[in-house]
Amino acid sequence: MSSIWKSIKSVGRRLLSVSTSSYPGLSATLTTPLELKAIDKLMKKILQATNKYDRYRLFTELDPELYGAIDRIAKLVRYSYKGVGLRIGAELEEKEKRLLRIVEQLERQFQFRQLFYAAAFDLLRYGDSIWFYRIENPTGLVELRSLPINCMTIIEDESQLGDPTAQVFSRGLYVLNELYDEKRKIFKPDQIMHFSLNPMASEVHDILGRYTYGVWSVSPIEPLVPRLYWKLAALRTDILLRRKIVPREHIKLDLSMFDPNQFEGKTREERIRKARQAAQKFVNEIIQDLGKPLKEPDQSYVTDKDVEIDYVEPRKVTYADPSPLFDQINQSIFAAIGPIETAVTGRGRRTFATELVISSYVTICAETIADIIREQLVELIRRHIRVKYPGEFSEDDLDKIDVKIQLILGIERGEVARQVAVLRTTGLFTMDELRAIAGAPPLSPSQREELLKLQLLDHARRGREIAERTIDDILASYIRREGPEEPITPESRSDKQEA
């Protein structure tokens, strides 16, 4: 008999354990959390990525710390861009003024500041950034846009097209969609600006698996790939565990009325089958009446006295907090990309002095990337002017064109001002050189006149102050300058000491 009761009670337990089956939408939500669906979807995309660049892009889109680190450095690079200009003093000749207007117009037309951000973002994400430009005669530069690096390959000549076993040691041709004849496009190096972090001595396999040396750079994300997979796995496990250890409703039903002996049947098996059917019908009715209200908070329900509703709390669950692991992985991300943690998360773990010192390192990182972009951009500007204004400007004139790069963070401005003040006292620097150190352009003629007026007014104010001084003020100033007289200490009397 006890085995029969266990069989009937097991029916109730199984039915209650799948009580959400009557509500398909609710069941899907409970069994697969939305956040877990999102992670699994992205994980599937990462595993199915056709090449490493697609994988880097998906990791960047998925991980907020990785995206934030890349974004902050790229924004610093954008901020370090101070515009195009000429490497000369403040006084410009008419020819130089015209040259400056031309490069400034080109800057506005092609949005060089945004180019610095986009190229820096790609450099930090992929290690390389490839831009196509088109120069026509006599218009000059007419097109400038980036190319999808996940579809790009570089070969030495056309004999290496479609050959994954070839080895590439120089940038002979740039190929877009190499494996698709109808979509393939080939670019010569003089049509491409290729920004690269460190291609000089890098062994890299391209998207077709070809061995290349001195052609591509290793992405800063590449050494982070195992840790990013680990972070995703830990995040997924944490989501599952948190949903499993929450309290659960447990409905206990009294099934004693379904005694097989009270049911008709010629055989014992037939009576047990009827008892199970009756018990199942009873449990289904309970599920219909209580299942949905139990899944919705603050809902009232009525049962008979034989139905008991209780909560089952998780017991003896060892929960490994993933936060320290996430912090360690995030520190690896910041170490590979280079930003200050405070700039990414809004919270720091160091003192103000330490943050000030580290900010100098971040400035160097941003300016280094900006310098990689500047070199090729300046050459592109010169090519544009040679084509559009042939013979008007000499090579010496074109050599004066420069892209100004300087990054002074707000936290550093006070220190820079102190440095300029000290350097000024040495008398070794001109005003324009001191302004350049402070991140300011040279003084224009009108600014020089205004500054001279302010200096004259200051000298006049000091002259009035000197003229209005009285004899007493002069004597008092002289006494302060000479210093107080040394006080005379009277000789001590030995008789008082003895007393």
- Helices and strands (H and E) in the chain: how many: 18, 13
Among residues 305, 364, 301, 302, the alpha carbon closest in space to that of 338 is found at 364
The pLDDT, as a whole number, for residue 207 is: 93
Tens-digit pLDDT profile for residues 329-353: 777 777 777 666 655 555 556 565 6
Taking phi first (over 0 means left), then psi (-120 to 50 degrees means alpha), and beta for anything else, what does residue 51 get? beta
With a pLDDT cut of 70, the percent of the chain lying above it is 70
Distances (CA, A) of 51 to 19, 126, 207, 208, 220: 45, 12, 6, 8, 16
Q: How confident is the model at residue 222 (pLDDT cuts 50, 70, 90)?
A: very high
Tens-digit pLDDT profile for residues 32-81: 677 788 888 888 888 888 899 999 999 998 888 889 889 989 998 998 89
Q: Token pair of 45, please?
A: 């995309």
Q: Spell out the residues 6+ positions from residue 114 whose beta carbon is closer than 8 angstroms to its own.
A: 78
Helix or strand run (H / E) with residue 193 = strand 192-196
Q: Is the pLDDT score of 20 beyond 50?
A: no
Residue 58 sits at the vertex; the CA angle it makes with 57 and 62, to the nearest 5 degrees, is 120
The pLDDT, as a whole number, for residue 186 is: 95
Tens-digit pLDDT profile for residues 457-476: 776 676 666 666 666 666 66
With a pLDDT cut of 90, the percent of the chain lying above it is 31
What are the structural domain ranges in the chain? 2-18+247-312, 32-127+223-246+318-407, 135-218, 444-482
Tens-digit pLDDT profile for residues 235-251: 888 888 777 777 666 67
Half-sphere exposure of 163 (CA within 13 A, CB side): 12
